[in-house]
């Protein structure tokens, strides 16, 4: 049973919509922080690597009316299906291309074709460091000169309970009492036990990768990125790194 859950974690989460429903507020804040680090100009093309259900598309749509193209790639068709639904129900629509690819086999994106890349909590699921290194090199090649990467990965201080605490703090500050209590009493207990604690275990068992800041910088530099910014996000449970190509 544990093996089935582990192997189908993302697929089931996207197909049931539980992934979106149980997303803690702190995760959404981390995504918004990463999107905020990307450039913003009319007609730009963004590649979302390991896009999952395409939550980032909603963030781009909230903040970027001028976004030209959003390319979302993931191994899970259930996530890409959610992305398509999200796109078709959105009011302002950039051109969206969801496509399936397995990062273990390369990125499959044309060289010099995108202005910005978002990799929000995706590369850490690639347990082989050689594959992560190759993907980062592919990302660099896909970017146009002067392009920007916003990379977010869990830190070695990943703490599931802290993420929930911070999320509840943010939810409370939003002053929507009904929503706060639904999250506190109904949704976040499920988020904690079926989501965050599960991820915490995978990180502890090194099935997925948690990073020191130095490790994250080293991986990005080795792929040829100039590091322009780093910060902690997600209740100190992750790092956001912004890199540029020359």
Report the interface residues with ligand SAM, using CB under 6 A: 10, 31, 50-52, 55, 74-76, 79, 102-104, 120-122, 125
Beta-carbon contacts of 22 under 8 Å, excluding residues fewer than 6 positions away, are 187, 188, 190, 191, 194, 195
- Both tokens of 199, joined, read 């991820």
In whole angstroms, how close is the CB of 237 to ligand SAM at the nearest point? 13
Residue 1 and residue 117: Cα distance in Å, rounded? Answer: 36
In whole angstroms, how close is the CB of 240 to ligand SAM at the nearest point? 12
Which segments within 62-176 are labelled E, that is strand?
69-74, 95-100, 114-120, 143-154
Cβ atoms 201, 164 nearer than 8 A: no
Residue nearest to ligand SAM (CB): 52
Which segments within the chain are labelled E, that is strand?
45-49, 69-74, 95-100, 114-120, 143-154, 226-233, 238-244
Q: Which is nearer to ligand SAM, 104 or 204 (CB)?
A: 104
Cα atoms found within 13 Å of the Cα of residue 90, Cβ hemisphere only: 21
Q: Which is nearer to ligand SAM, 99 or 181 (CB)?
A: 99
In whole angstroms, how close is the CB of 238 to ligand SAM at the nearest point? 11
In whole angstroms, how close is the CB of 136 to ligand SAM at the nearest point? 14
Q: Which is nearer to ligand SAM, 10 or 70 (CB)?
A: 10
Strand partners, 224: none
In whole angstroms, how close is the CB of 127 to ligand SAM at the nearest point? 9
Q: Which is nearer to ligand SAM, 135 or 223 (CB)?
A: 135
Q: Which is nearer to ligand SAM, 134 or 245 (CB)?
A: 134
């Amino acid at each position: 049973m544990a093996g089935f859950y582990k192997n189908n974690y993302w697929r089931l989460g996207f197909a049931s919509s539980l992934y979106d429903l149980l997303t803690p507020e702190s995760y959404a804040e981390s995504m918004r922080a990463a999107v905020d680090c990307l450039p913003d100009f009319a007609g730009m093309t963004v590649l979302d690597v390991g896009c999952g259900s395409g939550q980032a598309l909603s963030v781009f749509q909230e903040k970027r009316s001028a976004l030209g193209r959003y390319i979302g790639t993931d191994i899970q068709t259930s996530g890409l299906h959610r992305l398509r639904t999200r796109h078709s129900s959105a009011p302002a629509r950039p051109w969206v291309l969801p496509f399936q690819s397995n990062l273990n086999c390369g990125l499959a994106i044309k060289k010099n074709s995108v202005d910005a890349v978002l990799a929000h909590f995706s590369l850490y699921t690639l347990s082989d460091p050689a594959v992560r290194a190759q993907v980062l090199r592919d990302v660099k090649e896909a970017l146009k000169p002067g392009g920007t990467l916003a990379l977010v990965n869990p830190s070695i201080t990943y703490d599931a309970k802290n993420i929930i605490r911070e999320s509840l703090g943010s939810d409370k500050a939003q002053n929507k009492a009904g929503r706060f209590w639904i999250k506190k009493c109904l949704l976040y207990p499920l988020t904690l036990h079926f989501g965050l604690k599960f991820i915490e275990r995978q990180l502890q068992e090194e099935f997925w990768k948690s990073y020191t800041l130095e490790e994250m910088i080293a991986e990005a530099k080795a792929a040829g990125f100039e590091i322009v910014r780093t910060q902690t996000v997600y209740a100190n449970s992750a790092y956001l790194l912004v890199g540029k190509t020359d």
